[in-house]
C-alpha cells in the first residue's frame, strides 16, 4: 500500500504558537485538561506494537487514507494522536504526517517511535492558520470531546477548502461499559450518529463504515453485561495489557477472515453494516 511521499509541509509554517523545544518536540507552552486516564499513554505504549487491535486499526486506516488521500498529497495532522502508533504507520506508508498530542508522555513516546513532526499541544493552543491544513485525523479521539460538533467546527476552520478528515470512534451506545468510563469516553456512536455530527460541523461524508466485525458480541458478553449487572472490574494497566495483547493467532479462523476482508472492503470503498468501531472519511463542504 506504500505511496510516494507528498510534498513537505512543516508545522512551523501552519501553526503560529508552536516553538520547538526538548527532544525536538514542538510546544505551545500550555498544558490542557483532557478526558483521558493519567496512565493511559504508558499503558497503551506497552502493548500497541503487539496488539491485534492496534495493528488491525492501523491497516484499516492506511487503506482508507490510500483510497481517499489528502488533498495534493499534503500534510496529515494526527490530532490527539497519543503515542503515535497510527501516525508512524502512515509515515512508513509514505505520507507526510505531523502529530499533535496534549500529553507530554504521548508526545515523547511518538518522538521516540520515529515521528518526524511532533507537537505537545491541543489543536486550539497550537494556533493553526485558517485554511492551511490539507488533512487531519481523529483516531479514537472524538468520543473524548464533550462538545463534538464545536470541536469539529474548529477543526474544519483550519482545513484547506479541499481538506480531508479521517476518523474512527467506538461503535454503539448499547455497548457502553466500565471500559468506556475508565477510558474517559463521553459517548459511543452508531454510524448514522457520527455522520450526522460531521455534517452539522460542515463536512461531506466520502466514506463511512463499521469495522472490527468480530468484536460486538464479545464486548457485549465480557464488558457490557457485567457492567449492567454491577460487576465492576477494576481499571489498571494489567487489564489494558490483557484486553489488547492478544495476537492474531489467538483469534478464531472466522474472526481472522472477517478482519482480513475488512482491509479490502475499506480500500475498495465498500461499507460494512456492523462492527465494534466506525471509520469515516469526510471532506470540507
How large a percentage of the chain has pLDDT more than 70? Answer: 87
Cell of 123: 489543536
Report yes or no on 277 lying in a domain. yes
**Average pLDDT estimate for 47-75:** 94
112 lies in which domain range? 11-284
Report yes or no on 6 lying in a domain. no
Read off the pLDDT of residues 202-243 as tens digits, 9 standing for 90 and up.
Answer: 999 999 999 999 999 999 999 999 999 998 765 554 454 445
**Average pLDDT estimate for 163-181:** 97
Q: Are 182 and 37 in contact (CB under 8 A)?
A: yes
**CATH number of the domain where residue 27 is located:** 3.40.50.150
Phi then psi dihedrals of residue 279, to 5 deg: -135, 130
Task: Determine the Cα–Cα distance for residues 253 and 214; give it in Å rounded to an integer.
Answer: 11
Cell of 202: 460542515
Read off the pLDDT of residues 232-280 as tens digits, 9 standing for 90 and up.
Answer: 765 554 454 445 555 555 566 788 888 999 999 999 999 999 999 999 9
CA angle 44, 50, 54 (to 5 degrees): 60
Give me the residue label for grid cell 504558537: 17
Report yes or no on 135 lying in a domain. yes
Report yes or no on 197 lying in a domain. yes
Q: What confidence score (pLDDT) does residue 2 get?
A: 47
Beta pairing, strands 26-27 & 117-120: parallel
How much is the CA Rg of the chain, to the nearest whole Å? Answer: 18
Total domains, the chain:
1
Q: Are 89 and 61 in contact (CB under 8 A)?
A: yes
Alpha helices of the chain — where are they, by DSSP H? 11-14, 40-45, 52-67, 85-92, 104-113, 123-126, 148-158, 178-183, 191-200, 216-219, 225-228, 237-244, 253-267
Amino acid at each position: 500500500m506504500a505511496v510516494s511521499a507528498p510534498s513537505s509541509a512543516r508545522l512551523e509554517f501552519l501553526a503560529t504558537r508552536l516553538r520547538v523545544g526538548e527532544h525536538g518536540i514542538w510546544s505551545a507552552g500550555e498544558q490542557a485538561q483532557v478526558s483521558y486516564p493519567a496512565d493511559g499513554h504508558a499503558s497503551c505504549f506497552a502493548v500497541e506494537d503487539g496488539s491485534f487491535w492496534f495493528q488491525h486499526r492501523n491497516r484499516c486506516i492506511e487503506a482508507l487514507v490510500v483510497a481517499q488521500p489528502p488533498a495534493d498529497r499534503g500534510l496529515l495532522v494526527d490530532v490527539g494522536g497519543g503515542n503515535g502508533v497510527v501516525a508512524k504507520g502512515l509515515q512508513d506508508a509514505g505520507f507526510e504526517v505531523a502529530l499533535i498530542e496534549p500529553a507530554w508522555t504521548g508526545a515523547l513516546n511518538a518522538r521516540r517511535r520515529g515521528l518526524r513532526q511532533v507537537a505537545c499541544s491541543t489543536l486550539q493552543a497550537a494556533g493553526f492558520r485558517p485554511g492551511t491544513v490539507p488533512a487531519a485525523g481523529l483516531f479514537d479521539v472524538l468520543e473524548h470531546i464533550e462538545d463534538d460538533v464545536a470541536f469539529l467546527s474548529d477543526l474544519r476552520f483550519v482545513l484547506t477548502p479541499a481538506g480531508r478528515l479521517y476518523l474512527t470512534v467506538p461503535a454503539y451506545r448499547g455497548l457502553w461499559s466500565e471500559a468506556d468510563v475508565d477510558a474517559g469516553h463521553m459517548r459511543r456512536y452508531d454510524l448514522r450518529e457520527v455522520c450526522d455530527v460531521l455534517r452539522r460541523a460542515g463536512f461531506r461524508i466520502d466514506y463511512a463504515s463499521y469495522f472490527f466485525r468480530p468484536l460486538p458480541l464479545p464486548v457485549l458478553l465480557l464488558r457490557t453485561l457485567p457492567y449492567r449487572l454491577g460487576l465492576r472490574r477494576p481499571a489498571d494497566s494489567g487489564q489494558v495489557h490483557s484486553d489488547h495483547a492478544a495476537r492474531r493467532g489467538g483469534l478464531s479462523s472466522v474472526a481472522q477472515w472477517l478482519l482480513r476482508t475488512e482491509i479490502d472492503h475499506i480500500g475498495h470503498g465498500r461499507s460494512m453494516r456492523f462492527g465494534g468501531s466506525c471509520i469515516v472519511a469526510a471532506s470540507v463542504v
